[in-house]
Structure 1
Amino acid sequence: MGKTFNKTWQHSENEAELYKNWEAAGYFKPEISGKLTADNSKLEASAKPFVIAIPPPNITGKLHIGHAYGTTLEDLMIRYHRLLGEPSLWIPGMDHAGIATQTVVDKELRKKGINKNEIGRKKFEEEVWKWKEEYGGKILQQLRAIGASCDWSRERFTLDAGLSDAVREAFVHLYKKDLIYRGEYIVNWCPKCGTAIADDEVEYEPQKAKLYFFKYDKNFPITIATTRPETKLGDTGVAVNPDDERYSEFVGREFEIDLDGVKGKVKIIADRAVDKDFGTGAVGITPAHSMADWRLAEDHNLEKIKVIDGHGRMTDEAGKYAGMKVLEAREKLVEYLKSASLLDKEEEIENNLSICYRCESPIEPLPSLQWFVKMEPLAAKAKEAVKSGKIKIIPKRFEKVYFHWLDNIRDWCISRQLWWGHRLPVWYKLAGNPKSKIGNSKQTESNSNIQNPKVSNLENSNLDIVSNFDIRASDFGGEIFVGKEPPQDSENWRQDEDVLDTWFSSALWPFSTLGWPEAPRSLDEVGPSFAKATEGKTGGCKSLGLSYAPGITECDYAYFFPTSVLETGYDILFFWVARMIMMSLELTGEIPFETVYLHGLVRDEKNRKLSKSLGNVLDPLDLIAKYGTDALRMALIVGSTPGQDLAVDEAKIKGYRNFSNKIWNASRFVSLRVTDGDLQSGELGESRIDLPAGEAGNLELSGELLTPADKKILDEHNKVIKSVTDNLNKFKFSYAGERLYEYFWHSFCDRYIEESKKQLDNSVIARSETTKQSGQEKIATPDKLAMTINTKKILIKILSESLVLMHPYIPFVTEAVWQSLREFCP
């Protein structure tokens, strides 16, 4: 671009080139700032780094406006701290997104007539890796288009070799400490996706439903109320409140029932969990199909009968209803209750339907043999980290939400019946094989391999367990092997078919991306590496040798961890943020980040959720092509409030495109008026600042020659610098952006530039007031020329310093102007 200004700012012609130049120059790679001790044994940090690990986008397709929002906030922080001279690292990467990616790729294969079950696991995984290579590259290019100044040499993927090793290390560590176990429990099962999902992955959709009041049969003394009569085929108890005198005479008794041919026994129990004012105050207990009922059954030793299977159909235990879909069985059973005069009444109510966060299909609570993480021991540390102030959550009101979740936390189901993801590092000994060997002497503790029969033998289970794991009780020897590597006599063992919940690997993200667990843990350990790499000089460290992330060094974990800020959406405070804190404290002994900044969802100008059906979806790439990256970034930041949803429409983005043009035009004016050249063919030709010789780089102002307009703008300028800096340090990005916008557009452009034109015209007047003496030209009004020089200096000072202030918000136009003015910008 050189030193030329077109008449207008052309974002489409300049943004990609500017980004390419930044990346090629290595501007996004931080130097490890430190010095070695005299004996080269230790590294002492000379500057505290500023670090963000990007919330890794899923590889399920292209980025949406929400990604653009978070990316812009993170890039603003990184560029600001980079301008402060801090070693600033922004770690990029992507998430394999187990269930989401498997679902998308499965759909694509089905369009081609390919069934994943027919091609098998290995071939299917190959297809997903192809998808990752295609769409992963597109996602990274989209991040670049938004202006993300990440260190791409440190790019990570949650299924790369290093992170996979970290996942196995974490699993083994937690298992050794009895924080991971396998057990039979009721889980959230998605029949459509065919897998268990965690409590936090269940969403709730308001619906109108019917509450049915009925008796099991004519001999049963109590009327129960339920919205799901089909599950009552599996009831083994009825719970009432101990203070409810209506049912006191029945508590402790057991009744034989016959519900349309399905016979069983029901015990009446008293429990304070029952709301005596809801329905009839009597609740049928279906232990196999309700989490609350499962806990009641455990407390009162009730039998568990499964009447719904993993496909959402009724089991053989449901008698004549076997094989029916749930809703069909409900309809048929209600018809029977009416015909048998067992149905007292129906009431219309509103309740919430539990649905899968991924496919939005109804969830079925089902008994299943799954792997879990014990959360209470981990939650206590995570709660203290925030309560003590070690971790700050912005906005602060979300601390209350965070504490409430931790206080009511349940064990985390981490196994998923999928093919795409981190395979559980668990092997089962196959029974009846005389070659089985346990505890091979070559397998040492340093390899973190454990053999321990912590799991109850499957033969002890009286339930038809939901699982895709193809080992039968008769095949299972009752012993398991947990390790980072398979057992040496692997032919006698079979690995668990399940994969880990995507959020398990994501919970390790802040430290696994920096080389954990292989990298040295402290600066005291990296001195030799630093010295060897730099021959005793500062500024570098030996690479960790990762071909897929060559920028990761042996110093990264010790120098850059803990990270500085986690910026993410408030909707994944539990999914991700809390789990990262828990895992980091347990596995590293450190907090993962110092500050959590939570942004809201992006909505339209009417505060509606963006959706295809409403036709209000905003594609960030289309908006960038139309209005420029800078305009989109300003529209996403100005007006935003942490923890609050943000309303954005095209009119707002268009308005900030005008701001980019304003900056360009003001800069073009300043360039023209402080130089001695004229515009030719719409461009500013080769020219230099029109200041006396020796003063081109000297912007010291003559105080006695300042006009009232000069004094006013300089005073406001200093206040703006302080205000913007203070607000950025306090994470008040919108306030800082608004202040910059108002100041530059109105104070500088509308007022001061207009005032400066009068002063700049003095040079024209001064030059005309000349006389010839001894054949030499003499300026007749030197004070006017001096004041004009002062004005030009102020214009350059205000413009150049404003460019720096605005750069984190709108990096492209500010960089383009800076390069054009660099010969006389201080």
Structure 2
Amino acid sequence: MSEKSTVYNPKEIEESYYKIWEDRGYFEIDGNKAIQESGKNFCIMMPPPNVTGSLHIGHALTFTLQDIITRFKRMDGFKTLWQPGTDHAGIATQNVVEKQLLAGGITKEELGREKFLEKVWEWKAYSGGQIVHQMRKLGVSPAWSRERFTMDDGLKNSVKKAFVKYYNEGLIVRGNYMVNWCTHDGALSDIEVEFEANKGKLYHLKYFLKDSKEFLVVATTRPETYFGDTAVMVHPEDERYKHLLGKKVVLPLIDREIEIIADEHVDMSFGTGCVKVTPAHDINDYEVGKRHNLEFITIFDPSGILNEQCGEFQGRERLEVRNDVVSKLESLGFIDKIEDYENQVGHCYRCKNVVEPYISKQWFVKKEIAEGAIAKVNEHLAEFYPSHWLNSYNAWMKELRDWCISRQLWWGHQIPVFYCDACGHEWASEAESEHECPTCKASSIHQDPDVLDTWFSSGLWPFSTLGWENGDAYKGEKWNESDLKEFYPNTLLITGFDILFFWVARMMFSGEYTLGQLPFKDIYLHALVKDEHGQKMSKSKGNVIDPLDTISEYSADTLRFTLAILAVQGRDIKLSGEKLEQIRNFTNKLYNASRFLLMNANSFEDLDNIEIKTALGAYMKSRLAVAQEEVRGHFSDYRFNDAATTLYRFLWGEFCDWGIELSKADKPAILELGSIFKEAMKLLHPFMPFISEFLYQELSDTTLEAAESIMVKRYPHDLKRDEAIEQTFELVIEAIVGIRRAKANIDLGNKKIEHAYIKVADASTLKDGMKYICLLAKVENIDLTEVKIANAASDVGDNVEVFIPLSGVDLSPIIERLNHQKIKLEKEIQKLSGMLSNERFVANAPKEVIAENQKGLDDARAKMEKIESELNSLSL
């Protein structure tokens, strides 16, 4: 017999168990080989966290849900791959390393590209290792030996292969486009721009007609951009300005003449009905400029520094100069008025810099790449959970624009396009470097200096990690040719809804276009984790919950189960200390249940190895069968919260509260209950891997060091329900509760009584249950009756009525107490009724006050009804 623990120490158990699991290879594809069933494969991809990051509560939710379903599938006989890895996070990582260098007085330009990248790789090695270490603290079980990084050698090959394929097929093109431009980080895609409410100004500028004192007034929130205006635009049907069409106005300060044009794009009702057109610095004006063949004048460089188009303001930063431009215009009479104005301003999602529309030569993936993915999703070849995300996916995909994939960074996948300096030829190549132009054979070659958007490589994640076009870099012991065949399409994706467009949509069209199949069969998008008040977590609010601190205080199991039980599809999670405390109490309840069982036996067999002989054992096994069926059903719909709720209900409400209580009247059943509890630990294991393993080994009288783990045991699957025995024990429990309530009403509470009667429709159903009722309700003798018993305290349930004879019971103090309560309630009812019947009060009081008073009145009347019923029964 092993030495039993007298206390459960989560920190000690979590560290030691995790190491054993990982060292034994349980997390790997063949970790459950003994129970694998032919043809059953399961694959899920870990959303690769940024190497610059640390584990946050959103990660904790994603990885918890992924681990739950992976552990379930592994125990259910599936050949299982949970693919782990990290993302190089181009902009974020470069920013971090640049700031570190600047703190030491060094710029990346001083280091040069090669040396700078060496520094970034050093940071990656440190930071990437940190987040992987933190993930292990949560107890997650991916195939760590297969861990990938979006810039490892194999994935570099995949990225080049995909780029060259798309390039050669005309889906990747380069050209001058209007893009979102961060003056610090360069080009951004649409979804990398975060719009925030801004309290700014609306500046009304006077543009005087050429050779005239007449002027037009145009409004702008960005007055410094007027240097790039190439037209003033009015609506063609605006009678106020028809006579001015074709005439010119003169731009203030720089005296450049621009024409007045007409376009239906103008809203005649907004402002003066005149708008300035700045084609090179406004997305809408960009399209107007192309329609009207206007001049595109760029007024600042990629760093936001104004150029020669801006007169005396040349050389100054575009935002810093704004007030000075306005002051100059105002001093010369070119400002009509300035108003307070609220609008939405785009910011870089990484550095928070104000984003500018900017014309730049960039690389784009054409939107046509998504056509197949759109069609196949709407043929339901992939399903969204919750289903409403299909509408969001369709709305975004059908409005998809060409995707800007070039970034002005050094860290990332350098664009595999080469240029000949001699003849100007351009070509894409999978080669590490090129030395000769394929057209003119010249050797003066250079590679495009930009790198690819991080999401380009992440978009390939569902298949590049399985070896697609990895070259020889990832073939051998851990990877093989069959991976792609066995695990693509992936079975399931679990991630936050907030990266549906950043990542999910891009994986969908990248996978479908490249391999002809959507990369996932099911896509589960979870909501946000917020604080207990429903507020989004932020450092500024001081309401951030650190998962590592939470694990340290409560245990990994507690955090995992809390997140799971709160993860209702489509609903934000409100995480609170109170809920964590509740689930910690649940773990204590499980531990105490095992202590009770072990007080009565040294060890327990697995359920498969015993025959159930007692009625209580049969009842608990039947309820376990119900829980097993419900949990499996919830897993099939990815209703993690419902599965967790089922487990909580069975283990606490049924097994601990009733199974253990009832066993006090049936000692032989305890051996059976121990086996049932062990089987229940298998059911619980995906949610709470550590304590379920610990209790399973304790009840088996062994240790994990010496025995096989619960995590590679078969998940409960063939337990059968016994509805007849359930009906018996439902009546037994109802009778116990009824007698206890009736005793409490006559102040006999926990005292033993001599006699009670039970009225039930079919007396035979209780013949095997009397010993349980007598012991737990503390009654010497119980008789069954078909009629109501006079002069008795009673309790009426759904299926059972109980009666306790009142002979010999002094009822006077009970009746006095009830009458006292009745008087108080009468006064409360009179007071509340008077207020609610007062028309003046109802007309003037806030709705919440009226509702609160009405609820108080309803509650008081319900209590009065109960007291009167009790008094009537006692006066019989």
**Which of the five TM-score ranges fits, normalised by the shorter chain?**
0.7 to 0.9
Which residue of structure 1 aligns with residue 559 of structure 2?
632
2:643 corresponds to 1:727: no
The CA deviation at 1:230 is 1.3
Which residue of structure 1 aligns with residue 615 of structure 2?
706
2:624 alignment partner, one of 717, 726, 730? 717
The CA deviation at 1:649 is 2.7
Q: Provide the rounded CA distance (Å) in 1 between the counterparts of 2:152 and 2:477.
A: 13
How big is each residue's C-alpha offset from its partner over 1:87-119, in whole Å with a ceiling of 9 and x where there is no partner?
111000000011100001111222233322111
Q: Provide the rounded CA distance (Å) in 1 between the counterparts of 2:673 and 2:565.
A: 26
1:558 alignment partner, one of 481, 485, 507? 485
2:276 corresponds to 1:367: no
Q: Larger relative contact order (C-alpha < 8 A, sep ≥ 6)? A: 1
Q: Provide the rounded CA distance (Å) in 2 between the counterparts of 1:754 and 1:248.
A: 90
Q: Provide the rounded CA distance (Å) in 1 between the counterparts of 2:95 and 2:53.
A: 12
Q: Contact conserved, 2:252 with 2:334, CA < 8 A, in 1?
A: no
Which residue of structure 2 aligns with residue 97 of structure 1?
89
Which residue of structure 1 aligns with residue 765 of structure 2?
none
Shift in alpha-carbon separation, 1:32–1:747, aligned structure 2, 3 A: closer
Q: Provide the rounded CA distance (Å) in 2 between the counterparts of 1:671 and 1:492.
A: 80
The CA deviation at 1:262 is 4.2
Which residue of structure 1 aligns with residue 17 of structure 2?
18
| Of 710-719 and 158-167, the range deviating more from structure 2 | 710-719
The CA deviation at 1:152 is 1.1
Which residue of structure 2 aligns with residue 481 of structure 1?
427
The CA deviation at 1:254 is 4.4
Give runs of aligned pairs for residues 122-521 of structure 1, distance below 5 A: 122-193=114-185, 195-217=186-208, 219=212, 221-251=215-245, 253-271=246-264, 273-375=265-367, 377-431=368-422, 477-485=423-431, 486-489=433-436, 491-518=443-470
Shift in alpha-carbon separation, 1:296–1:613, aligned structure 2, 3 A: same
Q: Provide the rounded CA distance (Å) in 2 between the counterparts of 1:136 and 1:111.
A: 22
Q: What residue identity is the alignment partner of 2:527?
A: G
* Structure 2 residue matching 1:758: 3-state secondary structure: coil
Instruction: Give the total of aligned pairs.
Output: 693
Which residue of structure 1 aligns with residue 474 of structure 2?
546
Q: Contact conserved, 1:33 with 1:46, CA < 8 A, in 2?
A: no
Shift in alpha-carbon separation, 1:670–1:342, aligned structure 2, 3 A: same
Q: Contact conserved, 2:40 with 2:77, CA < 8 A, in 1?
A: no
- Unaligned 5+ segments in structure 1 are 35-44, 432-476, 520-543, 676-686, 761-787
Which residue of structure 1 aligns with residue 672 of structure 2?
794
Q: Provide the rounded CA distance (Å) in 1 between the counterparts of 2:539 and 2:215.
A: 52
2:568 alignment partner, one of 630, 641, 651? 641
Q: What residue identity is the alignment partner of 2:256?
A: K
The CA deviation at 1:670 is 1.5
Q: Contact conserved, 2:373 with 2:513, CA < 8 A, in 1?
A: no
1:811 alignment partner, one of 666, 670, 689? 689
Shift in alpha-carbon separation, 1:306–1:574, aligned structure 2, 3 A: same
The CA deviation at 1:394 is 1.3
The CA deviation at 1:742 is 2.2
Q: Provide the rounded CA distance (Å) in 2 between the counterparts of 1:663 and 1:396.
A: 36
2:540 corresponds to 1:613: yes
2:692 corresponds to 1:745: no
Q: Contact conserved, 1:234 with 1:305, CA < 8 A, in 2?
A: yes
Q: Provide the rounded CA distance (Å) in 1 between the counterparts of 2:611 and 2:237.
A: 85
Q: Contact conserved, 2:634 with 2:643, CA < 8 A, in 1?
A: yes
* TM-score, length-scaled by structure 2: 0.76
Q: Provide the rounded CA distance (Å) in 2 between the counterparts of 1:711 and 1:247.
A: 89
Q: Contact conserved, 2:204 with 2:217, CA < 8 A, in 1?
A: yes
Q: Provide the rounded CA distance (Å) in 2 between the counterparts of 1:275 and 1:644.
A: 39
Shift in alpha-carbon separation, 1:395–1:688, aligned structure 2, 3 A: closer
Task: Report % sequence identity.
Answer: 42
The CA deviation at 1:646 is 1.6
Shift in alpha-carbon separation, 1:808–1:696, aligned structure 2, 3 A: closer
Shift in alpha-carbon separation, 1:174–1:481, aligned structure 2, 3 A: same
Q: What residue identity is the alignment partner of 1:757?
A: K
* Structure 1 residue matching 2:112: 3-state secondary structure: helix
* Structure 2 residue matching 1:89: 3-state secondary structure: strand
The CA deviation at 1:166 is 0.4
The CA deviation at 1:70 is 0.6
* Structure 2 residue matching 1:427: 3-state secondary structure: strand
Which residue of structure 1 aligns with residue 77 of structure 2?
85
Shift in alpha-carbon separation, 1:115–1:343, aligned structure 2, 3 A: closer
Q: Contact conserved, 2:208 with 2:249, CA < 8 A, in 1?
A: no
| Of 711-720 and 494-503, the range deviating more from structure 2 | 711-720
Q: Provide the rounded CA distance (Å) in 1 between the counterparts of 2:384 and 2:78.
A: 23
The CA deviation at 1:329 is 3.1
Q: Provide the rounded CA distance (Å) in 1 between the counterparts of 2:63 and 2:5.
A: 30
The CA deviation at 1:221 is 4.5
Q: Provide the rounded CA distance (Å) in 2 between the counterparts of 1:246 and 1:819.
A: 87
Q: What residue identity is the alignment partner of 1:215?
A: K
Which residue of structure 1 aligns with residue 28 of structure 2?
29
Q: Contact conserved, 2:154 with 2:467, CA < 8 A, in 1?
A: yes
Q: Provide the rounded CA distance (Å) in 1 between the counterparts of 2:303 and 2:21.
A: 53
| Of 158-167 and 278-287, the range deviating more from structure 2 | 278-287
- Unaligned 5+ segments in structure 2 are 438-442, 703-709, 714-876
Q: What residue identity is the alignment partner of 1:798?
A: I
The CA deviation at 1:341 is 3.3
Q: Contact conserved, 2:163 with 2:172, CA < 8 A, in 1?
A: yes
* Structure 2 residue matching 1:178: 3-state secondary structure: coil
Q: Provide the rounded CA distance (Å) in 1 between the counterparts of 2:360 and 2:184.
A: 16
Shift in alpha-carbon separation, 1:282–1:379, aligned structure 2, 3 A: farther
Q: Provide the rounded CA distance (Å) in 2 between the counterparts of 1:315 and 1:29.
A: 59
The CA deviation at 1:757 is 1.8
* Structure 2 residue matching 1:213: 3-state secondary structure: strand
Q: Provide the rounded CA distance (Å) in 2 between the counterparts of 1:108 and 1:210.
A: 36
Q: Provide the rounded CA distance (Å) in 1 between the counterparts of 2:90 and 2:562.
A: 33
Q: Provide the rounded CA distance (Å) in 2 between the counterparts of 1:642 and 1:589.
A: 30
Q: Contact conserved, 1:3 with 1:821, CA < 8 A, in 2?
A: no
Q: Provide the rounded CA distance (Å) in 2 between the counterparts of 1:567 and 1:330.
A: 46
Q: Contact conserved, 2:530 with 2:572, CA < 8 A, in 1?
A: yes
| Of 597-606 and 218-227, the range deviating more from structure 2 | 218-227
Q: Provide the rounded CA distance (Å) in 1 between the counterparts of 2:345 and 2:510.
A: 31
RMSD: 2.4
* Structure 2 residue matching 1:28: 3-state secondary structure: coil
Q: Provide the rounded CA distance (Å) in 2 between the counterparts of 1:388 and 1:588.
A: 17
Q: What residue identity is the alignment partner of 1:701?
A: I
Q: Provide the rounded CA distance (Å) in 2 between the counterparts of 1:655 and 1:50.
A: 33
The CA deviation at 1:349 is 2.4
How big is each residue's C-alpha offset from its partner over 1:458-516, in whole Å with a ceiling of 9 and x where there is no partner?
xxxxxxxxxxxxxxxxxxx4321211013342741101110000000000000000000
How big is each residue's C-alpha offset from its partner over 1:273-316, in whole Å with a ceiling of 9 and x where there is no partner?
33222222222110111111111111211100111222223221
How big is each residue's C-alpha offset from its partner over 1:155-186, in whole Å with a ceiling of 9 and x where there is no partner?
11000011000000011000111111110111
* TM-score, length-scaled by structure 1: 0.80
Q: Contact conserved, 2:607 with 2:679, CA < 8 A, in 1?
A: no
Q: Contact conserved, 2:289 with 2:295, CA < 8 A, in 1?
A: yes
Q: What residue identity is the alignment partner of 2:384?
A: I
Shift in alpha-carbon separation, 1:738–1:243, aligned structure 2, 3 A: farther
